[in-house]
Amino acid sequence: MPRRSSSSSRWLQRQARDSFVRKSRQDGYRSRAAYKLLEINERDKLMRSGSRVVDLGAAPGGWTQVAAQIVGARGTVLALDVLKMEPVAGATVIEGDFRTAEVRAAAAAVLAGAPVDLVMSDMAPNISGIRIKDEAAAEELALIALDFAREHLRPGGALLLKLFEFPGTDELMRELKRNFDSVARRKPEASRAGSREFYAVARGFAPGCGI
């Protein structure tokens, strides 16, 4: 039998110890990430019954499940990931690389010109370990999500954006502040303490500002 690498063994051990992993299995969520969105939405009320939501970097689908439950049959959820994702009841799923114009056009076609209430992005690049490369990849994904939000949010809409504590992130936060009335940082309990990840909650989209 092939031996597991020490990093994948460590990952498996950490998963087994993790209370959010256990809870997600009990609650029927596909990922522990579901609890990050539940905590943020509980505090910030980003979506409600009837909301129109876009979920970028959605696989395996924890956030999509949470969003579909909250918006209900009157709302819509468009979920997108470069990885294949099992369908989620009440959501439309697109498979493709969001960095490509074709995939963004496919998402725009599903939205069909109707403005959305919330764009959320949990997209994260594959970490190479080369710091400068990883920072650039994370920043690229965040900027593309911000551009998409600027194109498709209704005035007053919101953006929930995964960011990382990198040197360039302050400038990204300033860019968010130029486009939204308020911007807050959130580090939900389910976000691992040792990770550089945090979430920006940007509310009150003001079209035309910051461009």
Ligand X SMILES: C[S@@+](CC[C@H](N)C(=O)[O-])C[C@H]1O[C@@H](n2cnc3c(N)ncnc32)[C@H](O)[C@@H]1O
Question: Contact region for ligand X (CB under 6 A) — 1-9, 42-50, 117-125, 172-180?
Answer: 117-125
- Among 152, 173, 170, which residue's Cα sits nearest to residue 161? 173
Q: Which two tokens stand for residue 208?
A: 């035309």
Least distance (Å) from ligand X to the CB of residue 61? 5
User: Exactly one of 61, 75, 157, 188 binds ligand X (CB under 6 A); which one?
Assistant: 61
User: Exactly one of 18, 39, 60, 115 binds ligand X (CB under 6 A); which one?
Assistant: 60
Interface with ligand X, residue 81, by CB under 6 A: yes
Q: Which two tokens stand for residue 134?
A: 């990883």
Interface with ligand X, residue 176, by CB under 6 A: no
Q: Which residues have a catalytic role annotated?
A: 162
User: Exactly one of 82, 110, 111, 136 binds ligand X (CB under 6 A); which one?
Assistant: 82
> Cα 79 to chain center, whole Å?
10
In 3-state terms, what secondary structure has residue 16? helix
Question: Contact region for ligand X (CB under 6 A) — 51-59, 70-78, 104-112, 163-171?
Answer: 51-59
Residue partners of 186: CB distance under 8 A and separation at least 6: 39, 40, 43, 44, 198, 199, 200, 201
The C-alpha atoms of residue 127 and residue 45 are separated, in whole angstroms, by 31
Residues in the chain, total: 211
Interface with ligand X, residue 122, by CB under 6 A: yes
Per the listing, tokens 């953006």 go with 159
Interface with ligand X, residue 97, by CB under 6 A: yes
User: Exactly one of 62, 75, 157, 188 binds ligand X (CB under 6 A); which one?
Assistant: 62
Interface with ligand X, residue 83, by CB under 6 A: yes
Interface with ligand X, residue 88, by CB under 6 A: no
Pairing between strand 153-164 and 197-205?
antiparallel
Cα diameter, the chain: 59
Least distance (Å) from ligand X to the CB of residue 1? 28
The C-alpha atoms of residue 29 and residue 64 are separated, in whole angstroms, by 10
User: Exactly one of 91, 118, 123, 149 binds ligand X (CB under 6 A); which one?
Assistant: 123
Q: Which of the residues 14 through 33 are near ligand X (CB under 6 A)? A: 30-31, 33
Give the residues lining the site for ligand X (CB under 6 A).
30-31, 33-34, 57-63, 80-83, 97-99, 122-125, 141
